[in-house]
Amino acid sequence: MSKYEVKVLGVGEESDADILGMLKEAERDAEQEGAQVRVNFRWGAEQLTIVKEAARIQGLPYQVYIKKVLYDGASADLAAHYKLEAVRRGEQAALSGR
Q: Confirm whether 72 is domain-assigned.
A: yes
- Alpha-carbon distances, residue 98 vs 27, 71, 89, 90 (angstroms): 49, 41, 15, 13
Instruction: Quote the CA–CA distance of 60 and 53 in Å, as a whole number.
Output: 10
User: What angle separates helix 62-96 from helix 45-58, to the nearest 10 degrees?
Assistant: 90
Tell me, what CATH number does 60's domain have? 1.10.1220
Tell me the pLDDT band of 45, cut-offs 50, 70 and 90.
very high
Mind listing the pLDDT tens digit for each residue in 75-92? 999 999 999 888 888 877
Please compute the mean of the pLDDT values over residues 6-25 and round it to a whole number.
65
The verdict on 11 and 51 lying in the same domain is: no
Question: Residue 11 carries which side chain, given as an amino acid letter?
Answer: V
Tell me the pLDDT band of 38, cut-offs 50, 70 and 90.
confident
Mind listing the pLDDT tens digit for each residue in 53-77? 999 999 998 999 999 999 999 999 9
The verdict on 68 and 33 lying in the same domain is: no
pTM over 0.75: no
